[in-house]
Amino acid sequence: MSTNTNNLPSVEALQELANQFFKALPEDAPKEFSFDPYDHPRATAFAKSITGEGIVPAANVPVDDALVQAGAPAPFALSDPFGVITAPPSVSGLGASSSITNYNNVGDIPGTIEGDNHLPSENTPFSTGNVPVSVAGSGISPSSPDYSTKGAGTGLTPGYEQTKSDKSTLSGGVPSSVAGSGASPSYVHQQEDFSIKEPVTSFPDANIDKQTPGKQHDSFALPFTDEQPYWSDIESILKFIHISDPAVNTHAQTFPAIPDANTPSFYFLQREQLPVSNNTLGGFTHGFDAYKIKKDFPILNEKVNGKPLVWLDNAATTQKPQVVIDRLSYFYRHENSNIHRAAHELAARATDAYEEARKKVQQFLGAKSPNEIIFVRGATEAINLVAQSWGDQYLKSGDEIIVSHLEHHANIVPWKRLADKKGLILKVIPVDDDGQILLDEYAKLLSSGTKLVAFTQVSNALGTVTPAEQMVAMAHAAGAKVLVDGAQSVSHMPVNVQALDADWFVFSGHKVFGPTGIGVVYGKEDLLNSTEPWQGGGNMIQDVTFEKIQYHKAPNRFEAGTGNIADAVGLGAAIDYVTKLGMANINAYEHALLEYATHHLKQVPGVRLIGTAAHKASVLSFTLKGYSNDDVGKALNREGIAVRTGHHCAQPILRRMGVETTVRPSLAFYNTCEDVDRLIAVLRSHTK
């Protein structure tokens, strides 16, 4: 049989095989096999199964609330609103399978099926709010080389290339091409009415009831096929055909269903609720295609030392999707101006874009009001703002501040400086040998003298996820205020500051796929308005005389001078992107990947994992016996793999773990098992 460049059966060979097969079928079956999408729907389903075309993660899959709360991966639907047959990621050993949509045959009317002539039975207006703004449903990212003006038929704008920008505060809002800042077409939209026992198609169709064959959770089941006498033979063929992304190394290991005995018992994975399959990551079906998502990040196409870049330094900074890069470019080409208090058009556009970004952050964090969102340079400046404003104003000699042993220097140094300046007492919450907070010891530290507790939600050095809600509640019960450092959490898990009930929550934009130089302080509005500003200048005042200064209320009272307007807008675009992917989906996928990486890293001779808490996110700190951490980092760099080595600005916790430095790979949703495999291969090559 002839093969293609990937050593797979060629399309022609498969077509001939299919033709021979169909000729041997009963009389009522089609006798000629064709890839024409308007042919018989059964043949269409089979053709698309064989070629890999059209097998994409579902764009709108409702999910059971209980599973979402458990961090469980979203299931797959068997059809999407654009009539493309869908199925779970299949057979690839390195990540989700290729999802190459036949763009030329996407219908102009959302809800139609290729080769059919009926519309959805319910006359529900179609909303692009459930799909990426860029070429919705076509499966093409704006950053894809296949991207063109093929979105014209859908009535959707192909990105930011508008020749006319005529909407602003003065004339009705930000240009429509900006607001959505389209995300990868591979996201899964979460809804609330899904039953795992009775999955439904993602479009209403009176011709298909809930009992229709092909609607069960079966990796190979396609609509209209279970009723056919020859389907079992087709299924057998499909099981032996391996189709994957051309970029995938087909010689890498397949995903194991990792044994419970060899893996940490992560709180976010409920094994008993989900089917285990060797064709899915770590035994779990995840809700999007990491290979497709990678294409949204231009820098991930780079080569380092002649090798494809593997970015595993996400705890230091994350890479930026094309939509963020485009949004920054659009701002400087069409909106650049200082904000507020101007009568001209560009000032109105810039003000709209800046304040819209504030609203996006508010919604992302679940805050009550945009007035609770303050833009700063990053999480470090955010913590210093609280220390030098509220701390300097309200804390007095003898008052106690509590921090944890896990903290980044940015959540230690500002409080230590304030303690030295004002005679405060600084206490430290201890951790166990795995790097987990000792809640009993924390409870003993709390007293009537405790005025502030400041701790991280996720450790940047170990990846430990702290019991944040419980710690906040304990501090409040003692009468203390609480600051939570979310720099390492917001890109890996859903955050709701109202549910958390923290008084302040801080993060950096560059850790959540946004630009550098922008960060956020969330603070409860009454608390912010009762706190004196920490810097003085323009923008933060209502009136100034030589006798008296009257300040604005929050957030402006804390944003003196010209802020980082463009990067705030870029952060808004990054939030749009991750929101459309779905934080629940990101959380489930990343933690399954973390299990995979942990399992294989533990098998490398000489590796010592630093930080083995049951509740972890992203980070895998380790040392390798016989090698300095710098040597390991350099060896990985020679193979194009980027990791961080050093003390990670967290010397106290590393010393508590008995080391001065570590090698620190850290994961994000665009990483794959292939990335992990390359890391493991380099380490193993140094242990032979």
CA 369 from chain center: how many Å? 24
Cα–Cα distance, 344 to 351 (Å, whole number): 11
Number of neighbouring beta carbons within 10 Å of residue 568: 29
**DSSP string of 390-449?**
IIHHH--TT-EEEEETT--GGGTHHHHHHHHHHT-EEEEE-B-TTS-B-HHHHHHH--TT
Minimal CA–CA distance to 76: which of 221, 272, 268?
A: 221
Cα–Cα distance, 131 to 60 (Å, whole number): 8
Q: Is 115 exposed, middle or buried (0-12, 13-18, 19+ CB in 10 A)?
A: middle
Total residue length of the chain: 688
Token code pair at residue 511: 């850790």
**Residue 455, amino acid:** F
Q: Which residues contact 74 (CB under 8 A, 6 or more apart)?
A: 61, 63, 67, 188, 190, 286, 287, 582, 584, 585, 588
Q: What's the Rg (C-alpha) of the chain?
A: 27
Cα–Cα distance, 82 to 134 (Å, whole number): 15
Cα–Cα distance, 191 to 129 (Å, whole number): 13
Cross-strand bridge partners of residue 508: 519
Cα–Cα distance, 38 to 58 (Å, whole number): 21
Q: Which of 221, 238, 425, 649 is catalytic?
A: 649
Cα–Cα distance, 396 to 384 (Å, whole number): 17
Q: Catalytic site residue 673? A: no
Angle made by CA atoms 674, 495, 599, in degrees to the nearest 5 = 30
Cα–Cα distance, 352 to 250 (Å, whole number): 48
Cα–Cα distance, 136 to 151 (Å, whole number): 7
Letter string b/e over residues 624-642, b meaning 16 or more CB atoms within 10 A of that residue's CB: beebebeebbebbbebbbb
**Coil/strand/helix, residue 648:** coil
**Residue spans of alpha helices (H) in 128-247:** 176-179, 231-239
Strands 450-456 and 481-485 turn out to be: parallel
Cα–Cα distance, 491 to 315 (Å, whole number): 10
Token code pair at residue 220: 């190979």
Could you say which DSSP state residue 614 is in? Answer: S
Cross-strand bridge partners of residue 455: 484
Token code pair at residue 392: 């300097």
Angle made by CA atoms 627, 628, 631, in degrees to the nearest 5 = 85
Cβ(597)–Cβ(574) under 8 Å?
Answer: no
Q: What share of the chain is helix, strand, coil (3-state, %, to 5)?
A: 35, 15, 55
Cα–Cα distances in angstroms (integers) from residue 438 to residues 79, 441, 443, in the given order: 48, 5, 9
Minimal CA–CA distance to 262: which of 601, 675, 621?
A: 601
φ and ψ at residue 598, rounded to 5 degrees: -60, -45
Number of neighbouring beta carbons within 10 Å of residue 362: 19
End-to-end CA distance of the chain: 39
Could you say which DSSP state residue 630 is in? Answer: H
User: Active-site residue numbers?
Assistant: 649
